[in-house]
Structure 1
């Protein structure tokens, strides 16, 4: 029996308690349901499959809400498999069916395709080679910048640059600037070395104009670092910091309404 029919039968039953059986006849006639189907539907019990499906749907919705409506089917499945209340195995196909039924989906940032290739000055090979496991701090630093929007309608733009220590995957320095420039990235690394002290990590970046500039690379050379750059058109070569930006924007910026905070940081 469809859920809409069950709800209709329950509504008719509730109305009939106050209005009498005459109301039942009129409502059944209006809905085009026979009296026999109505009383049979009232007595019908939910099947075991229906009970399990409703429970699984409630747990999937619980985890979706708990993660601020940002996770997709694979993460919902992971949470359900670790949920102590869910005692039976769950498949990805079940989760996708439930998401379609609930009308929910993962929130993602739209991709941008407006990048203009700039002339490169200093380029290096991808020495890191997507080896994202390290045994201690300050062995590998990842650097990148991302565009942030602020203002009532998001009409203002600025760049947030950061240095991520691959060990622990946390930021050790950040810099706010109007645009991505060699000067801004040099100031960023001055902060990073002030924080970390006398260290000589591998520094991995993309091939943006700020990171291929003479000014920036001369500054890093003075600290005796090993340089590494992502291959052209391969953002996964810098995946940990790309993932950090994504989580920051989707889970914090968009949810916490921090545009006034960004503006105050810039003015400060």
Structure 2
């Protein structure tokens, strides 16, 4: 009997953790023919403690009774709505007057919280059976290839031919966040312009391009971006059309399609920001960003640019 009790106790503890495991073991072994007295002795407890636990277990709480009624009501709602009602719709119906609907036999005199409905539905595996439209992934991939006009050709033969852009998050002080927008000419990876804004919007992106345009008088004929909401917006698309630009976009979740500016961000943060005191004010951040952009344009050299700085390599072709 000791072995049987120990085995049953392990099974129950594997299913759930709690102080009542030994009482549940006694309850299950009683059904197999053992006596409560014998099992209580093996479990090192008293018969009285076991029966007190058993009585409490058999008495349903008010919440359990309410949950059972709510579950029955949910099943009626799902049946009427062809199992397509989500927990928000179910909650709204449960808290409304349903007396005129003959399929419903429930009525509650207390408000039912949406979290309670969601929990009950989840516990009983009830969810809206709404079929999602099938995605033509082959067609999507083909569209992504067509949208990526640049095709990772990151070495144009002259300035102002291809620009890439992206945004990154910067912080200052105690958790204050801003977005840094940058425009990079792929010819020498020269940072034409940058702009700092509280959020990433199409207007902020366009402002960065206007600052670059002031240096070159026109935008590059090919602009490459990722698929951020600001870049896929109608406002930004119209802006590029007005400036006679072709918009090239990376495939979703493919930062390698915009590798140059991704590397530029990496260098900016790890080679520049990481070696500077953390800015505590917005003005300090502005100064730090301006100095960092100047450093990568006028100080940092690269073998890919014949050991020239970005600005010298960029201007050598223009001159």
> What is the deviation of 1:235?
0.3
| Residue 249 (structure 1) aligned to one of 269, 277, 281 | 269
| Residue 214 (structure 1) aligned to one of 222, 234, 248 | 234
**Aligned partners of 2:275 and 2:158: how far apart in 1?**
33
How many residue pairs end up in the alignment? 144
1:237 and 2:237 matched = no
> What is the deviation of 1:258?
4.9
> What is the deviation of 1:199?
4.5
- In structure 2, runs of 5+ residues without a counterpart are 1-143, 288-319
Q: Deviations over 1:156-200 (max 9, x none)?
A: 110000000000101101110001111100111111111111354
The structure with more radius of gyration:
2
5 Å matches for 1:55-204? Answer: 125-151=147-173, 153=174, 155-204=175-224
Instruction: Check conservation: 2:279, 2:285, Cα contact below 8 A.
Output: no
TM-score where L is the length of structure 2? 0.43
**Aligned partners of 1:204 and 1:185: how far apart in 2?**
13
**Aligned partners of 1:158 and 1:200: how far apart in 2?**
27
Q: Deviations over 1:65-119 (max 9, x none)?
A: xxxxxxxxxxxxxxxxxxxxxxxxxxxxxxxxxxxxxxxxxxxxxxxxxxxxxxx
- In structure 1, runs of 5+ residues without a counterpart are 1-122
Q: CA RMSD in A?
A: 2.2
Higher relative contact order (CA 8 A, sep 6+): 1
TM-score where L is the length of structure 1? 0.50
Instruction: Check conservation: 1:175, 1:188, Cα contact below 8 A.
Output: yes
Q: Deviations over 1:15-45 (max 9, x none)?
A: xxxxxxxxxxxxxxxxxxxxxxxxxxxxxxx
